């Protein structure tokens, strides 16, 4: 029954209590098979108007003297006033036929709904509808990473429908789908966000980690009596109804790929190697040599946003920056140039390095097995930019 509030002062005072009265939006018992927690029984309610300050509980009565009462805890769930009992003790099937009462107290009002956890008796043949629903498996995501097409598998043919929920890294609910028809191998594409209908879809963000929560559901309804029931479903009868939900809940992590690194102009200097092959193995100390890179920063980026910059050869990091400075939009980075780095660049056992004007002179212990002319080096901070440049190699055999 819908309540209508008058704007006259007298009517306001006469009806204020009814207009702002507590009501249940839903009352529910749940047979939950959860990926991490196993199979258990639970109970919850959703209240209107929404508030986190209510006192809520649920009690189960079997026989005249055996009553168990559990507190219901508020959960922040899409701005609804959801109160949940969590994981109740005992075998879920043992709750069938018990009388259950949900109680909710506000500042000046207490409401309650009472019913019997159902035993279904079609044509006189009774059965307990509480059961364990199979978990969903074989999750996959394909297509547009911001609106992926997800698929999974569930062999439980008693399932009526699925509900897909999207959680952030803190398990906070971001979005949920409408009810999706059961199929053993369903697929579903996450719709784009629609400002005219915000609940319709969601735009995932690059570089963010999410969790898809797949619920496989089977639902039964049973009548309740009490107070604050006006918003509960009637299904065209004179009764108000609570529901028994058999469901499984599976969690699947999903990380949206981050943006591709921006290209950057890179100039390596000095860019000429002069290689000399020597036969001696005598070792002695040498001065420290550095390899310089001049990086034209991509538009919109500043030096402070860059992670440590590395020098790579064929996908393998061979040096990490030791200093940097900025001139205009050009970043000057220095890498330590040692025998290991140059050995990796040339594929030669390097013994000594020295710098003369625009040449890096290298003394190697053996000649190259194949001609060396050009070597491509990659410079990147791993996420923001990537640049490549070619080093020219000059070979001089002694």
Q: Does a structural domain hold residue 176?
A: yes
More confident residue, 304 or 163: 163
More confident residue, 74 or 296: 74
Q: Does a structural domain hold residue 28?
A: yes
Token pair for 10: 């007298």
Do 242 and 296 fall within a single domain? no
Do 349 and 387 fall within a single domain? yes
SS (H, E, C) 187-233: EEECCCCCCCCCCCCCCCCCCCEEEEEEEEEEEEEEEEEECCCCCCC
The domain in which residue 321 lies consists of 262-396
Do 327 and 232 fall within a single domain? no
CATH number where 38 lies: 2.60.40.10
CA distances from 98 to 64, 117, 125, 221 (A): 11, 6, 19, 15
Q: Which of 170, 356, 208 is nearest to 276 (CA)?
A: 356
Taking 50 as the threshold, does the pLDDT of residue 16 lie above it? no
Q: What is the pLDDT of residues 336-373, one digit of tens each?
A: 888 888 888 888 888 888 877 778 888 888 888 777 77
Q: Does a structural domain hold residue 4?
A: no
The highest-confidence range among 130-144, 260-274, 337-351, by mean pLDDT, is 130-144
Do 333 and 390 fall within a single domain? yes
Given 238, 255, 272, the domain boundary residue is: 255
Q: Does a structural domain hold residue 173?
A: yes
Do 161 and 251 fall within a single domain? yes
Q: Does a structural domain hold residue 131?
A: yes
Given 201, 235, 255, the domain boundary residue is: 255
Predicted TM-score (pTM) of the model is 0.66
Do 193 and 325 fall within a single domain? no
Q: Does a structural domain hold residue 3?
A: no
More confident residue, 338 or 6: 338
Given 225, 255, 285, the domain boundary residue is: 255
For the chain, what percent of residues have pLDDT higher than 70?
91
CATH number where 326 lies: 2.60.40
Q: Could you give the number of structural domains in the chain? A: 2
Beta strands in 62-206 (DSSP E): 67-77, 80-84, 99-105, 110-116, 137-142, 149-153, 161-167, 173-176, 180-181, 187-189
Q: Which of 35, 65, 240 is nearest to 154 (CA)?
A: 35
Q: What is the pLDDT of residues 189-222, one digit of tens each?
A: 999 999 998 888 999 998 899 999 999 999 999 9
Do 206 and 278 fall within a single domain? no
Lowest mean pLDDT among 9-23, 39-53, 285-299, 381-395: 9-23
Bridge partner list, 335 = 291
Average pLDDT over the chain, rounded to whole?
87
Q: Does a structural domain hold residue 2?
A: no
Do 289 and 238 fall within a single domain? no
Q: What is the pLDDT of residues 160-182, one digit of tens each?
A: 999 999 999 888 899 999 999 99
Question: Cα separation of 149 and 190, whole Å?
Answer: 6
Do 88 and 154 fall within a single domain? yes
Taking 80 as the threshold, does the pLDDT of residue 395 lie above it? no
DSSP for residue 305 = G
Do 346 and 369 fall within a single domain? yes
Do 278 and 311 fall within a single domain? yes
375 phi, psi to nearest 5 deg = -125, 125
Question: Cα separation of 88 and 41, whole Å?
Answer: 5
Question: What pLDDT, on the 0 to 100 scale, is given for residue 279?
Answer: 62
Do 135 and 246 fall within a single domain? yes
Q: Does a structural domain hold residue 1?
A: no
> How many helices (DSSP H) and strands (DSSP E) are in the chain?
2, 27
């Amino acid at each position: 029954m819908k309540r209508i509030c008058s704007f006259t002062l007298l009517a306001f005072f006469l009806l204020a209590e009814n207009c702002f009265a507590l009501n249940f939006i839903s009352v529910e018992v749940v047979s939950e098979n959860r990926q991490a927690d196993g199979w258990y029984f639970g109970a919850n309610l959703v209240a209107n108007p929404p508030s986190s300050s209510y006192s809520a509980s649920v009690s189960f009565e079997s026989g005249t003297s055996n009553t168990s009462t559990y507190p219901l805890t508020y959960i922040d769930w899409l701005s609804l006033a959801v109160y949940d009992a969590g994981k109740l003790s005992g075998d879920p099937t043992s709750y069938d036929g018990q009388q259950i009462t949900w109680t909710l107290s506000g500042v000046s009002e207490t409401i309650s709904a009472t019913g019997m956890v159902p035993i279904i008796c079609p044509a006189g043949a009774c059965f307990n509808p509480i059961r364990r629903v199979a978990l969903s498996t074989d999750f996959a995501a394909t297509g547009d990473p911001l609106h992926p097409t997800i698929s999974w598998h569930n062999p439980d043919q008693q399932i009526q429908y699925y509900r897909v929920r999207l959680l952030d890294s803190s398990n906070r609910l971001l979005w949920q789908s409408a009810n999706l028809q059961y199929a053993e191998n369903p697929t579903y594409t996450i719709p784009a966000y629609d400002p005219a209908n915000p609940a319709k879809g969601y735009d995932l963000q690059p570089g963010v980690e999410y969790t898809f929560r797949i619920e496989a559901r089977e639902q039964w309804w049973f009548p309740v009596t009490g107070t604050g029931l006006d918003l509960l479903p009637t299904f065209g009868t004179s009764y108000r109804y609570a529901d028994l939900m058999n469901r499984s809940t599976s969690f699947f992590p999903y990380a949206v790929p981050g943006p591709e690194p921006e290209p950057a102009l890179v100039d390596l200097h000095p860019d000429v190697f002069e290689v000399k092959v020597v036969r001696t193995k005598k070792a002695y100390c040498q001065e420290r040599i550095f390899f310089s890179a001049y990086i034209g920063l991509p538009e919109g980026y500043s030096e402070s946003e860059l992670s440590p910059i590395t020098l790579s050869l064929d996908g393998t990091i061979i040096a990490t920056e030791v200093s940097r400075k900025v001139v205009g939009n050009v970043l000057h980075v220095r890498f330590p140039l040692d025998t290991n780095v140059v050995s990796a660049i040339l594929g030669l056992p390097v013994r000594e390095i020295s710098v003369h004007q625009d040449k890096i002179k290298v003394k190697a212990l053996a000649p190259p097995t194949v001609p060396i002319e050009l070597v491509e080096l990659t410079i990147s901070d791993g996420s923001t930019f990537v640049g490549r440049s070619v080093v020219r190699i000059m070979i001089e055999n002694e």
